[in-house]
Structure 1
Amino acid sequence: MKLKKVLLGLFLFIAATSFAQQEKKEVLFTIDGNPYYTEEFVRVYNKNLDLVKDDSQKDLDNYLDLFIGYKLKVNKANKLGLQDGKKYQSELKSYRTQLAKNYLTDTEVTDELLEEAYERSKKEINGSHILFMVSENATPADTLKAYNKAIDVRKKALAGQDFGQLAVQYSEDPSAKDNKGELGYFSVFRMVYQFESGAYNTPKGEVSMPVRTRYGYHLIKVNDVRDNRGEISVAHIMILKPRKEDAAEEAKAKQTIEEIYQKLKQGEDFESLAKQFSQDKSTAPAGGKLNKFNSGELSSVTFEDHAFALNTPGEYSEPFQSEYGWHIVKLIEKHAAKPFEDVKDEFENRIKRDDRSKLIAASMNEKLRVKYKVDRDAKVYAKMLKMLNEKVYEKSWAVPAESDIYDKTLLTINGEKELKVKPFLDYLASHQTSVAPLKPLSKYADAVIDKYLDEQIAIYYNDNLEREYPEFGIVMEEYRDGLLLFDLMEKEIWEKAKIDTTGLEQFYKNNIAHYQWKERVDVDIYSSTDESVIKKTRKYLKKGKDATYIKEKLNTADKVAVIEKVGVFETDNEVLPKQDKYKEGVSGIIEKGDYYYVVKTNKILPAGSKTLEECKGRVINDYQQYLESTWVDSLKSEFTVKVNKDVFGKVKKQLHQ
């Protein structure tokens, strides 16, 4: 993939500044009659001017020749049908999807939601709620009934009745019977967005108006608001609560945690004690360490409060009891709230995953509805409406087998995209469970059409991004060409150079003067920072001792006094300590910087030709370049290229100004 990026780099990611647009496009050259314009040539030239290191490529005549060569290759790729390859189509589609993302969302609304989320993240809310359940797609009557229930209970709360008792009596959240609707502290992204907004928009001590979520209506009471405590990293030692109520077992658990606490006070290591005694099997092997967390993230408020009460890293709590057992918590680190730039990407991803994304989509849909005119054929719609019946309210309606209006146009987007009756009815049949059962049927159909239109307009907009945004079209066209070129080069040049052994050997023979060894030496090089060690090494070498013997004599388990390097090197290689003349045998002591060397020259190899195997990588690379250079010439013969000299002359003057 890196190679592909290098290849495409010349033609990707257009700079914002470009050649002044001419009122009328001028053709710079044609290939088999297909026009290529000055605008593209100048844009690419300016964009790559600073990237080109070879000054010859900055010359406009040379650059035009390179540009024509590039376009010839693209034409060849299209001629071979490479644009129809499944792999090519898949990669192109994947790239377009990534590039289109920034065009398919309402960035203004996204930025507002990001700012709102960050501001909310600075605070933690302690809240309670009462839930009145009602389906998202409930009838208006059922929805109103749930709303009125919520209003009645809110009046009781405002009149002074205890909110917790009201939750026990009226909340349809099953947990309310035990927790009286209390939710503890929470911050941004911990609740569904509508609930979160209701909580953050309600003053401390007050009860909200009914808040609608996908679960129904909520009354929210804000008990407290405090600054966000940030995130915390802790370790803990835990003794589990007995499964059954047993006073003796509970006493034993308490005694065990107190004994562990005493060991800590005596100076024993927290991590070691956690590994030995903690009954939290998921954290004990890691010395009790938990993943970092913030308020409301754990299921135990008691545990969180004891953890956040610690202030100094290494400090640990006294034993305390939670819903799950006994704990001792040690503070590892407190993590302060991060600045906006540090959380922006994380928050943006979370926004895309929760209900906020619906706000972004709704805003985008609204803008596209204004942008594109939609026409509905009233007569066709009226006929289509007669095909619906009451079964849609039972989620059991099916598309009739036949109809004379199935191929009729029901809707037209922007005067171009026609939406037929049959695809819409198929959509309606598959979305019966996602639309509220509005009555009469005409209202139900309108609701489905609105949903259908939002999706189809978004598809139409996406399909026309190249036309809507010229810069998008330019990048896509250049990526399309660059990707084709990569596939073509792989097919015609790179693979051929690797498998064409006869051609490679002939190229090697024809250019053997470029593949020559200088004089080389086969040597053993010994080095040390201690001159006395190298002197001893030289004596051993003179006696015919080998590297194993020398290192056994001079090196110890604690210190490597001498090290050796073996190989065949050209005599001007910097690895070699410099000598006036190389000859077989053991050299004198050579000093270089902080090191001392002695060299045993085993053999002197005269200058001469490299074998193909010795330089195959370089030969293949050179052969590829040779094939490409001759290939462009052959492409010029295969295709007819005509350059408009007068237009090119004007381009030169404008670029040289």
Structure 2
Amino acid sequence: MTNRTISAILSAFLFLYINPGSIAQTASQEDPLLTVGGKPVSRDEFVYLIGKGSNSDANTPGLSREEFEENLDLFINYKLKVREAEALGLDETTEFKREFASFKESLKSPFLIKNSLEDGELRKAYSRMQEVIRASHILFQFPPNASSEDSLIVLKMALKIKQEIQNGGDINALAVEYSDDPSAKINKGDLGYFTALQMVQPFEDAAFTLQPGQVSDPVLTSFGYHIIKVQERQPNPGQVQVSHILVRVDETNPNSENQARRKISDIYTEIQKPTTLWEDIVKNYSEDPATSKKGGLLPWFSVGNMIPEFEMAAFSLTEIGEVSPPVKTRYGYHILRLENKKPIDSFEEMEDMIRSRILRDSRSTMIQSQVLAIQKARYGFKENEANVEKLRASLNTKKKNEFRPEITALGMGASNLFTLKGKAYSTEDMLIYMETDEVSPKTKGGTFDIWYDRFAGELLAQIEEEDLEANNKEYSMLLKEYRDGILLFTLMNEEVWQKGIQDSIGQRAYYEQNIRDYQWGERVNAFIVKVLDINKLEQAKSRLQGNAYSESLVNEFEEFYKSNDPLAYQTQSGLIEIADDPILSKADLSKSFQEIEADGHLHLVVVGAKVPPGPMAFEETRGPVIRDYQEYLDEQLIQSLRKKYPIKVNKSVKEEAFIALNQ
């Protein structure tokens, strides 16, 4: 059984009418609502399950006494079945354990610290994506194998240039002179437009804190120190699709620049003529082999995906079909035409992409560091710094198989590493973990820091999961709901559903005992022809009128119309129950042929012999019998369980539940 929730499962058995108001959580927690065979069932569980179908509208009435009692009775039946499933050991089967473990693994994710931090980063990134920034920068790289003195010299240089910019210096001119970014000689430090997740995180964080005209302090990234000046901030224009014409410039030919400029100018003039077809111009003149045969069409792109000059020209076009003036890029000269545009996608549409990119950049390390810090604070992590430092000094260059001998030589086999929730963990605990843990090859030759962090991290994660079940009410309720739902489904499948389908002797016995419930009303042999094409009415009447009902009449008419006019008619024939048929219930059954108007169509009816009311044959009603037999088995199961497991209801807690569901 997979992809099943208790909400779906219970709908077949539980809570026929649920429409309470908001649920109070203030009632007594000590006493159970009821006991099932001595096993307590909490008031909170009952209120929670009914509350899942609640309507938060304050104007919607809560449960009446009658509805409350009905739902309590159904809840008791549900808990009886779960109790029986446990008694039968269904919660100890391999299949149950596998499915429950799988659900538990998927359920815990939204409740973990990591998920809430990730979600915060996702939302922050998407919020930033609503804007695009145009910025310039100057990069100051460190020399190879830089010392701390070297780093300080680079930082002082960055601060000096920042001051020069603030004193009125042109960042673009200064970028050409000082920037270690190789592209600065061409773009003068102008990065064009970008949005979230298109720059390394420290650079992005700094840029999004600046307003147009502001200059950052030196920003440290893996590339070096950056001085950033934001030129513009604008709403994100979303995505565009353009087609283009390209005229290349041959850098080895000194005349190529002028030739390309004249050619693109002539093409632009030609495009302005009303009789000119864009596709023809692209095919004849564009020098982009990838697009010239398909009208110059490029894939959709957003800000930051194209070179700045091309991108700015594309996003400056506002009307579909609008053509840009010639644009110079490092590839040559372009003319662009806007083909389509659309706004930025919704958060839900972009969530997977954003998550993937965040987990690939430095944010993932930052998130993990924050998770560990929160876990350590929450669960009382206290490190024995002296022991850890001593082990680090001795083991940080050792391989995995050298740890135990080295620790033994140090006499630190039982030394305390840290305490967690008041429990001490020693070097021996870490060694056992190392010896039983399956690790990637790159970690097998790792250091003390790798193993220590891994050991502590997994313990913290384990304790967080245990803490969820013990202290997070929503999580524990969902977990119990699904657990009991699996047991309920398994029991019902074995004792009711499959038994009802497979027990042919029981089915027939039930049918014979309840034959009065499987009776035909008055029936008649009839042939009903629904005329879909009114022009074919007379053709049908001529074949039916004046003829008695017979199988040969039906067969001959159906063979005729299916061969000649298959769309002209719809037919129904056989022994039909009169009262349940919308056509025959209107018919004068004393006439052998008649025309009846219904549902906007004319129906031709040929009536034969009537058959009086009588019992249905077992084969005729096997489906309804199986359904009713399953209901009977369910009722019998409940009766037997109520005898097997006595029910005791705490009246005062029951009243608390009623009040909670009506507040």
Interval containing the TM-score (normalised by the shorter chain): 0.7 to 0.9
Structure-2 residue corresponding to 1:6: 8
Output the CA distance in 2 between the equivalents of 1:343 and 1:624: 47
Query: Which residue is 1:34 aligned to?
Result: 39
Structural mapping, 1:255-334, within 5 Å: 265=273, 290-298=298-306, 300-317=307-324, 322-324=329-331, 328-334=335-341
**Pick aligned residue for 1:546 from 552, 557, 564:** 557
Q: Which amino acid aligns with 1:625?
A: E
**1:65 and 1:220, CA in 2 relative to 1: closer, same or farther beyond 3 A?**
same
Aligned to 1:105: 113
- The corresponding residue for 1:441 is none
Matching residue within 202, 207, 211 for 1:194 = 202
The one-letter code matched in structure 1 to 2:470 is: R
Q: Which runs of 5+ in 1 are unaligned?
A: 438-443
| SS class of match (1:620) | helix
Q: Is the 8 A contact 2:518 2:616 kept in 1?
A: yes
- Relative to structure 1, the CA distance from residue 54 to residue 126 in structure 2 (aligned partners, 3 Å threshold; closer, same or farther) is closer
Partner of 2:96: 88
SS in structure 2 at match of 1:58:
helix
Distance in 1 (CA, whole Å) between partners of 2:504 and 2:251 is 79
Aligned residue number for residue 127 of structure 2: 118
CA distance, structure 1, for counterparts of residue 299 and residue 492 of structure 2:
49
SS in 2 for 1:588: strand
Corresponding position: 1:149 with 2:154:
yes
Q: Which amino acid aligns with 2:194?
A: F
**How far apart, in 2, do the equivalents of 1:499 and 1:445 lie?**
62
1:534 matched residue in structure 2 = 537
Distance 2:277 2:619 in 1: 61
Query: 2:614, 2:131 → 1: CA distance?
Result: 74
Match in the other structure for 1:440: none
Q: Is 1:618 aligned with 2:624?
A: yes
Q: Which amino acid aligns with 1:399?
A: F
**Partner residue of 1:489?**
492
Q: Which residue of 2 aligns with 1:69?
A: 77
- Equivalent residues of 1:113, 1:356 under 8 A apart: no
CA distance in 1: counterparts of 2:631 and 2:143, whole angstroms:
71
Alpha-carbon distance in structure 1 between the residues aligned to 2:301 and 2:271: 27
- Tell me the residue number matched to 2:139: 130
Indicate whether 1:563 and 2:569 are aligned: yes
- Counterparts in 2 of 1:94-493, with a 5 A limit? 94-105=102-113, 114=123, 118=127, 121-130=130-139, 132=141, 142=147, 145-146=150-151, 148-156=153-161, 158-159=163-164, 181-202=189-210, 204=212, 208-213=216-221, 215-222=222-229, 224-237=231-244, 265=273, 290-298=298-306, 300-317=307-324, 322-324=329-331, 328-336=335-343, 354-356=361-363, 358-376=365-383, 381=388, 384=391, 387-388=394-395, 391=397, 398-401=402-405, 406=413, 409-416=416-423, 418=425, 421-423=428-430, 453=456, 456-493=459-496
Rounded to whole Å, the distance in 2 between the matches of 1:603 and 1:274 is 78
Deviation of 1:186 after TM superposition, in Å, equals 0.8
Question: Per-residue displacement from partner, 1:354-412 (whole Å, max 9, x unpaired)?
Answer: 544555554454443333222445786577457425x26xx899423575555665322
Matches within 5 A, 1:581-620: 581-582=588-589, 587-592=593-598, 594-601=600-607, 607-620=613-626
1:332 deviates by 3.5
Look up the match of 1:642: 646
Partners in 2 of 1:170 and 1:184 — Cα distance?
19
Mean Cα deviation higher: 312-321 or 456-465: 312-321
SS at match of 1:591: strand
Q: What whole-Å deviation, never above 9, does each CA across 1:434-464 have from its counterpart, x for those lacking one?
A: 9xx9xxxxxx978985776455334312221
Distance 1:21 1:56, change over 3 A: closer
Q: What does residue 549 of structure 2 align with? A: none
Paired with 1:578 and 1:276, the residues of 2 have a C-alpha distance of 74
Report if aligned partners of 2:47, 2:657 keep a CA contact under 8 Å in 1: no
8 Å CA contact retained: 2:241, 2:340: yes
TM-score (structure 2 length as normaliser)? 0.74
How many Å apart are 1:643 and its aligned residue?
3.5
C-alpha separation in 1, matches of 2:391 and 2:616: 81
Query: Aligned-residue CA RMSD in angstroms?
Result: 5.3
Q: CA deviation at 1:230?
A: 0.6
One-letter amino acid of the structure 1 residue matched with residue 23 of structure 2: T
Contact 1:134 1:217 in 2 (8 A): no
Equivalent AA in structure 1 for residue 639 of structure 2: D
List runs of 5+ in structure 2 lacking aligned partners.
Answer: 547-552
Per the TM alignment, residue 473 of structure 1 is displaced from its structure 2 partner at its CA by 1.8
Instruction: Verify the 8 A CA contact 2:594 2:606 in the aligned structure 1.
Output: no
**Distance (Å, rounded) in 2 between the aligned partners of 1:243 and 1:523:** 84
CA distance in 2, matches of 1:123, 1:366: 33
Q: Relative to structure 2, which stretch is displaced further, 273-282 or 610-619?
A: 273-282
- Distance of aligned partners of 1:375 and 1:636 in 2 relative to their CA distance in 1, 3 Å threshold: same
Higher relative contact order (CA 8 A, sep 6+): 2
Please report how far the alpha carbon of residue 196 of structure 1 lies from its aligned counterpart in structure 2 after TM superposition.
0.6
Please report how far the alpha carbon of residue 128 of structure 1 lies from its aligned counterpart in structure 2 after TM superposition: 3.1
SS in 2 for 1:546: helix
Is contact 1:590-1:598 (8 Å) kept?
A: yes
SS in 2 for 1:399: helix
Distance 1:508 1:181, change over 3 A: farther
> Could you tell me how far 1:626 is from its partner in structure 2?
2.0
1:269–1:622 distance in 2 versus 1, CA, 3 Å: farther
- Give the 3-state SS of the residue equivalent to 2:646 in structure 1: strand
- Verify the 8 A CA contact 1:92 1:480 in the aligned structure 2: yes
- Name the SS of the counterpart of 1:539 in structure 2: helix
Q: 1:93 to 1:580 in 2, by over 3 A?
A: same
Asked if structure 1 preserves the Cα contact closer than 8 Å seen for 2:268 and 2:325, the reply is no
Q: CA–CA distance in 2 between the matches of 1:346 and 1:6? A: 31
Secondary structure class of the residue paired with 1:589: strand
Alpha carbons of structure 1 residues 151 and 620: separation in structure 2 relative to 1, 3 Å: farther
1-side partners of 2:4 and 2:180: how far apart? 57
CA distance in 2, matches of 1:533, 1:291: 54
AA of the residue aligned to 2:8: V
Note if contact 1:231-1:337 (Cα within 8 Å) is conserved in structure 2. Answer: yes
Q: 1:260 to 1:120 in 2, by over 3 A?
A: closer
Is 1:118–1:340's contact at 8 Å kept on the other side of the alignment?
A: no
Distance change in 2, residues 1:611/1:282 (3 Å): farther
Scaled by the length of structure 1, the TM-score of the pair is 0.75
Per-residue CA deviation, residues 152-197 of structure 1 (Å, 9 max, x unaligned), is: 2552564478866876787665656765654322122221221111
Query: Which deviations, in whole Å up to 9, do the C-alpha atoms of 1:14-60 show, x marking residues without a partner?
Result: 997246422632462242x4333445445545666889999998363
